[in-house]
């Protein structure tokens, strides 16, 4: 089983590999992605990290409010996206 963590306030230059590397120090990362603008391809400043279920709480506690390349990031459990109307 895995859980998805939301990571906000990312530096614009952050790549998916950077997220995986930062979080892997605190548990197993299944996957990571940085959300980009469809038209420009530029980062939107947030992303998601999929982690093993048993590592999620540890990662949230360890990473929330920490400095990632000069920005204080926000980390919490991702909420299911509501269906758009």
More confident call, 80 vs 67: 67
DSSP characters over 14-83: --HHHHHHHHHTTS-EEEEEEEE-TTT--EEEEEEEEEEGGGHHHHHHHHTT-EETTEE-EEEEPPPPPP
CATH number of the domain located at residue range(s) 2-77 in this protein: 3.30.70.330
List the chain domain ranges.
2-77
- For residue range 40-74, list pLDDT tens digits in order: 999 999 999 999 999 999 999 999 999 999 999 99
pLDDT(85) > 80: no
Residue-level pLDDT at 62? 98
- For residue range 24-39, list pLDDT tens digits in order: 999 999 999 999 999 9
């Amino acid at each position: 089983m895995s859980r998805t963590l939301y990571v906000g306030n990312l530096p614009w230059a952050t790549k998916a590999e950077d997220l995986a590397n930062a979080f892997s120090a605190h548990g197993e990362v299944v996957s990571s992605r940085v959300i980009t603008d469809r038209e420009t391809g530029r980062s939107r400043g947030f992303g998601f990290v999929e982690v093993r279920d048993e590592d999620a709480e540890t990662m949230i506690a360890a990473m929330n409010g920490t400095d990632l390349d000069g920005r204080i990031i926000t980390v919490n459990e991702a909420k299911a996206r509501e269906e758009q109307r």
